[in-house]
Every structure is written in structure tokens, then in C-alpha cells.
Structure 1
């Protein structure tokens, strides 16, 4: 029988050239050479060991290790520590430094401003390579969970009610046990009940302490209250297609030429309308006067469009009814649910024509209108606008319409509608910013431009979420989460730089 040499998969000592492990054309090779070109002096502010203390791990090494780990879907500082100890590629990139996981975690959590400086420098480098076109910027966001529980969210009033309920429950349990043991020499609580009472009392004390440290509710949009969170008060409850999560909305502004992220920030709010103008102000240095900004309906509001007009920013912001107005999507509903194959295929009867506004007689003083049945409809509201025209609304009383023989010709749903109302257009009014945006985005040129948005920004989130496996933020507080999101954006941009140089 043939004999072969044993293959040892865990040799202890190997002569390895660390530099040779960084293969040209790989992400690790590009990361190594790019980071060495950057000014990382912003990280120095954290250290106070100029004269005393042990030498610290170099920020260059830590940044390389974190970015390489994020590019491979490793987010945990403990997993990064293991990779720096066991993975040859990490050993080569870090020079076999073996940083402790607490050092890595501290580096990521405290370096938001320094990371922002690195992000800006990488953008400058990419711009010098010609990777940023500035013809169109596409804005979008993704909602991700954070290191906080949504069950610890609520208003101050809700938290106070929780504390009072816990205190009442603890007092009730204690009184019940004291009553049961009244005949004995001393009150005796079983261990389980005592632990329960202690836990309720302790939780109530923690809630009241939190309330004392946070005397005000978080302000929300339009004067509403935004729910606080006792674990991470800068995160927010966010509604997603998979339910409600406690987390942050990570926003990215993506250039159309090579899908470079020119601005990345994380926000503790689910209202994307609040984020449009701050995000655009943050990337003002990257925009030009002709840069077209595109965003979906989540960022649409009259106030935002007015802000864009005031800043003279060229933008296409969709509204909720954009697809319903687009004839290309007229039949989209038929794909959502297939009809019953046994349904009635006979031709439907044509709907009878209902009375329109032309069938109503308006009084000269516009105080009332007269319907075809001779009943009066009276003014209802004022300053109405319909389709860009000022309008006057009239409404009949329920008594006038209740037994009217013309109800089937006047009301679409005569069985349920109580009375008829009608609007009469009087004059064309100055179009709002929303109306101007609708006209522009519904034009042939507007549809062509906006149609490019999806292919610009969505692949970026696909790369970060699927390829880099970012499914949640591991940190707490907005500055730390914002820094972590910028690190993932850095990984994406460095990949673009590496791929571009590989092709060139």
C-alpha cells in the first residue's frame, strides 16, 4: 500500500514573509497602501503618553485591522482580536501586533471625529483619481437595529407608570406574605418571593433614577414627543417591513459615476423627512451648482422642497403618488395578486354618469349652491386648493339627501354616503413647491433622470448589508454608531478605489 507524508494543518513555526501575504490587486493590499498615505494625527488627541506611560498601538495598525475585518463581515472586537492572532492576512497587515479586544473596541467607539477626517481624506484621494463625477447624487437610508432593546422605550409618563406599577406589585407581595405569616414569631419570605420583590424594587429604583437624570422627553417632529430609550436614549423606534426595531437610520449619499459614498451618517430618527436638508448641508463641499440630487418619497415634504429652493439645489424628490401617475405602472396591481381563475369574466356594466359640478347652480354671492333636486348645499370650509386651482366647497345637509330620489345619480355609494358635497374651481393659484416638483418629475426628462437613482444607491446597501453582513450596529449612542457606519462606508469606498486601480 502506498505511503504518503503526513499533512500538518497546524504547524507551530513557519518562516513567513508577511509583506508577501498582501497580494497586489486584493483589498488588503489596497487598504495597506492607502492608509499609509493618510494623515492620522486626529487619533493622537486620545493619547497622553508623550512623556509617561507605555507605547500605544499605532492607529494605522488598528484602522487597517478594523477595516479589513469589516470587509469580511467581522464586527465583534473579540472576533477581530482572534483574527489578528490566528489569521495570516491579519497578522501581515498588523505586523503581528495582537491588539486586545478592549483596545479595538475602544478605538472604534471613541474615534468618530477622527474617522470622519479619514473619510474626508479618502474622498479627496478618490476625487483625484477621477472616481467622483458629481453629476448626480442619490440619497437613501437603511434602518438597522442597535445595541438596545425596544422594550425599554417609552415616554417619561410611561416610565413613571411602570415604576409605580412595580412598586405596588412589590408592596402587595410583601403585605400578602406578612399576612400569611402573622401567626408566627417572625415574618418569613421564601427565597423565590424575596428575589422577586428585590428585583421589582431594584428595577423601580433604576427607572426613577433614569427619570431624574433625564428631566425632559425627546422632542419629535411637528411638536410631538419622541419615545426615549433607557438603554440608548439617542436611538429610536423605527418601523420597517419586518416590524418595529430599536435602532438608527443609516443614510448614504452616493455619486452616480462609480457609486462612491460621498456622505454617510447615522441618525436616531425614523422620519427621513428630517434628514434631507442636514445631510445635504453635510455634503455641500462635494456638490456643485449643477449636481442633481435624487431621493425617494420618504424625503418629500413641502418644507424640504422649500429648503431646496432656498439653497438653490437642483433636486428630484419623488412623492407618494408618483407611480400612480406614471402610465408605465398602470397595471402593476395585477401582479400583486392573481385573480381567481373561476371569477366572472363577463363584461362589466358601464357605470352610470353621476352629477358633476356643472349640474349645480351657484348663487351669485357664492353663499350656497342648488342641486338638480332643488335642495340647497351650503359653504363648507374656505381657502381650498384642488389641482392648482382655488375652489369653493359646498355640502348638503343629511336631511336634504336622506330621502332624495336622485341619490343613485348623485352619490357613488348611496347606501353609505350621508350627503353630497361638491367643489367649484374659481381661479388658478400659484403652484406650490410640491406641484412644481410633480410637474418636473412627471416629465420625460425627469422620469429618465429619476429612473437612474435606484441603480446608483441600492447596490451600495446591497454590498454593505449582504456582502459585508452588516445587520445591526453593535454600539450605543449616536456618535459611536455614526463612526461605525462611516467605517463601513470607508470599506465600500476603498473597494471602489482598489477595483478602479486594478482595471486601470
Structure 2
């Protein structure tokens, strides 16, 4: 039986195949070409968008932008790998017209156009809004930790520096003891004094540097620092503590498109609800907005700030409960009824708790000692002389939130289906479960803008299809 045979490599053809014939009509690179042609690169802030009249001609920023978008679409983020793609990949040859910039030109373009990449990402969101792909009815907010370039070994704290200094002191003391023993003639073998002196000098320099670091951290009020990447922070991740950045995303419920994102240094999410919601509100240009997030965003002050800005949040309140005493379970604070008119609480036994003090904005109420002393329910309420109840400074915002969540029991299920899908795609598809390639907030924001731009483009192709999307771009 004969096999399927390929073409003879040495066979000439009268009409050679053109690059355009090798690329299908519904291919990704045609979408990238059409989209980039719509952009005003000068207005977006790209360097060299206007060519100089003299000097050596540069590559057009549109060509390098096409290359990076294609690269992040195909999980090729390295400038050296992109250089290789220009020389071997037919799709990239079609996209760039057989241009083959070197890796440094490619890397410099990404480094020098950070703000322009972010603006391009926003421009695509604006395009999607005009195409009716963004509903704006419900926005889901979530955060995820992306590992930085720096490793855990570059992370220092005052305690680590103190422990390191103690180790250096022991090593210095050991060498000094060797010299003392040699001077007294107690060494069985002669030691190399010059080698010991050199080692001592090295250790003393390390100790001096260590003490300088401690002094600088104390003067600047730093509790942690990452050598070589000061913007990064050590954060808790599902796989343990890592040097990372906290990437926030706001995803529209209609087609799971990311309408806004931010790379932050916050280790936790509980102070990011209102900033993310307000930024998303500005992007969508809506006076009213509904947002949902998980319990990690629970914060009374953030709830109140959102409501004041016309934003309705849906977040499970994360409240502390009354602790157990042995096998006993004391009455929870929710069993105490608050009266706004009298600004007091009524306990389960009908006694009144009046305002005692203000503590950092929280209001502390207590019952009278006589009422608690004669109360038949005291053993179920407190072991102290009297019962105290603290009312949060934004308790009313927490209460409104609880009511909203009870009225919308499926909100958390909807949240998961909206916002967790994009982050899963970004980590697995765009980043390949790898770390950032660029350092500091400027670099990581550049990379994340490119990755999210690629994700939104891919999502739009899946929703509309290439012909319809090309029609809208045309």
C-alpha cells in the first residue's frame, strides 16, 4: 500500500504560493491586523508613532504591537522567542510583512510603551462597549496573586536581618577565637593568618551592610523589602507565601469580558472594593452600578463608600462571632436589638445596654452591673460582671448588605461563573502558570495589559466569530 506523499523540496513552481494564500480568511492574525489598523497610535501615546525626518528609520509601532498581541495570544512572551517567531512562523511573517526585528528592539518597545499598552487595552474595552458586548448590569470583582520575577530569597525583614547579624557575629567570634588560640600557641596546626584576616574582613563588611539595611528599613518604616524589586510584596497564595503582585479584575456579566484591571501591592482584598468599583464605573460611564465580590472584600467602610458613589455592592459580610468559653456558647451580638432612636441595645432578657465609649469609630455599649447580676440568663451571656456589645462604625452598611444578600441567594454562584473563568484563562493560557517577566509595577502593568488585551480579543472572537468581528472592525 502506498503512503501519502509530500512535495519534492527541489521542485520549482511557475507561480509560487504567496503568504496571503497560506493564511485562512478567518485566522486570528487577520483580526489583529484589522484591530490595530483602527487605533490612533499617536493618541494612545506610543513612542515613534510619528516618524522622524532624519536618521535611520525605525520599526512602525503598529508592527511591534501586532507582534506582542500575537505573542501573548500564543503564550510567547519572551522577546528572544518573539524574534525567533519572526524568522520561522508563517503567521508572523504575514502579520509583519516578513519584518524580523531583533530581540532588543522588541524588548525596548515593550519597556518604553507601558502607558500606551494600558491605553490600548482600554481602547478595546471602549470598542466592545460600542459593539454591545458589555452589558454593565452586573460587574464581578476578584483578585489573584501573580508571582513576581524576584524569588523568596530576595525578601528581607528586620527580623531576618537580625537573625543574619547574629549568625555573622558567631562566625566572626569563631575566627577571632582561632587567632587567639594561635597567639597562645594552643593550635595543634599552624593557621593561615592572611586567609583568616581576609575572611574576617569579608564578614565585617557583610555585617556593616546588614546594619545599614536595618537602619534604612527603620528610617523608612518598612516591615519588608524585596531586593531588586521594591514594588513586589510577599503574599499568601494557595501554594504558600510568594513574592507576588495582587492583580484585580472587574468582569462584565454579559460575556465575561474584563472591563477594568489593576496590578496592586495589597496583600489582601478588603480595601480594594470601592477603588475597583469606582474605576469600573468611570470606564462604563454609568451613574449606577451593581458589583459583586467574595467575602475577602468584606469591609464596612468600603460598603458605605460604594453606596455613596451610587454603587450597589453584593458581598457576603465577614463578621467576627462571639468566642466560646469552654463548652459554653454565649449569646451572639445579633440577638441584641438596636434602637436607633435611643441609641441603645436591648438584650435577650429585655434589659438596656447604653453607650459607654467610642473606640476608633466603633461604639461600645454595656449593661448595668445590677441588671447582669440578677439576670437568669447571665451564664449564657457573659462571664464578666456585665455584657458589652460593640457596634461597628458602619454597622448600618453591614446590615443593608446582609439584607441584599438574603434577597439574592444566587449572587455568589453568579459571581463564580463570571469572574473565576477569566483568571483561570489568564494564568493557564496567557501566562502558562509562570511568573511575570518584567519587574516593578510599571513592568507588571505592561504585561498584564497585554495579557488582558489578548484575553478580551480571544473572548470576543469566541462570542461573535471572526467574520462578524471583522465586519464590526471594518
The normalised TM-score by structure 1 is 0.71
Quote how far apart the aligned CAs of 1:133 are: 0.7
Quote how far apart the aligned CAs of 1:208 are: 6.2
The answer to whether the Cα contact below 8 Å between 1:136 and 1:256 also exists between their aligned partners in 2 is yes
- Give 1:360's aligned residue: none
Structure 1 unmatched runs, 5+ = 219-224, 325-350, 358-368, 372-378, 401-405
Q: Secondary structure at the match of 2:139?
A: strand
Q: Secondary structure at the match of 2:236?
A: strand
Q: 1:226 to 1:105 in 2, by over 3 A?
A: farther
Could you list the per-position Cα deviations for residues 161-188 of structure 1 after superposition, in whole angstroms to 9, with x for gaps in the alignment? 3674475356446535645765879734
Quote how far apart the aligned CAs of 1:160 are: 5.2
Could you list the per-position Cα deviations for residues 97-140 of structure 1 after superposition, in whole angstroms to 9, with x for gaps in the alignment? 22222222222233221012111211121111111111111100
- Give 1:258's aligned residue: 255
Identify the match of residue 82 of structure 2 among 80, 105, 114: 80
Alignment of 1:366-381 (within 5 A): none
Could you list the per-position Cα deviations for residues 207-234 of structure 1 after superposition, in whole angstroms to 9, with x for gaps in the alignment? 567678777446xxxxxx5422122111
Identify the match of residue 458 of structure 1 among 420, 423, 440: 420
1: CA distance, partners of 2:75 / 2:11:
27
Identify the match of residue 474 of structure 1 among 424, 429, 437: 437
- Give 1:293's aligned residue: 291
Identify the match of residue 498 of structure 1 among 435, 438, 461: 461
2: CA distance, partners of 1:483 / 1:318:
33
Identify the match of residue 398 of structure 2 among 410, 422, 434: 434
- Give 2:30's aligned residue: 29
Q: Secondary structure at the match of 2:86?
A: helix
Could you list the per-position Cα deviations for residues 225-266 of structure 1 after superposition, in whole angstroms to 9, with x for gaps in the alignment? 542212211111111222111110111111111111111111
Alignment of 1:121-136 (within 5 A): 121-136=123-138
Identify the match of residue 105 of structure 1 among 86, 104, 107: 107
Q: 1:355 to 1:258 in 2, by over 3 A?
A: closer
Structure 2 unmatched runs, 5+ = 322-326, 334-346, 469-474
2: CA distance, partners of 1:456 / 1:450:
10
Could you list the per-position Cα deviations for residues 38-95 of structure 1 after superposition, in whole angstroms to 9, with x for gaps in the alignment? 1112454469982554322222122111121111222222222222222222222222
- What's the Cα RMSD here? 4.6
The answer to whether the Cα contact below 8 Å between 2:121 and 2:453 also exists between their aligned partners in 1 is yes
1:232 aligns with 2:229: yes
The answer to whether the Cα contact below 8 Å between 1:43 and 1:59 also exists between their aligned partners in 2 is no
Q: 1:383 to 1:208 in 2, by over 3 A?
A: closer
Q: 1:244 to 1:160 in 2, by over 3 A?
A: closer
Identify the match of residue 248 of structure 1 among 239, 245, 250: 245
Give the stretch that moved more between structures: 106-115 or 432-441.
106-115
2: CA distance, partners of 1:188 / 1:53:
58
1: CA distance, partners of 2:270 / 2:328:
42
- Give 2:341's aligned residue: none
- Give 1:339's aligned residue: none
- Give 1:489's aligned residue: 452
The answer to whether the Cα contact below 8 Å between 1:235 and 1:269 also exists between their aligned partners in 2 is no
Could you list the per-position Cα deviations for residues 350-379 of structure 1 after superposition, in whole angstroms to 9, with x for gaps in the alignment? x9999999xxxxxxxxxxx9x9xxxxxxx9
Alignment of 1:178-189 (within 5 A): 178-179=179-180, 187-189=193-195
Quote how far apart the aligned CAs of 1:458 are: 0.9
Query: How many equivalent pairs are there?
Result: 429
2: CA distance, partners of 1:501 / 1:431:
45
2: CA distance, partners of 1:254 / 1:134:
9
The answer to whether the Cα contact below 8 Å between 2:317 and 2:402 also exists between their aligned partners in 1 is yes
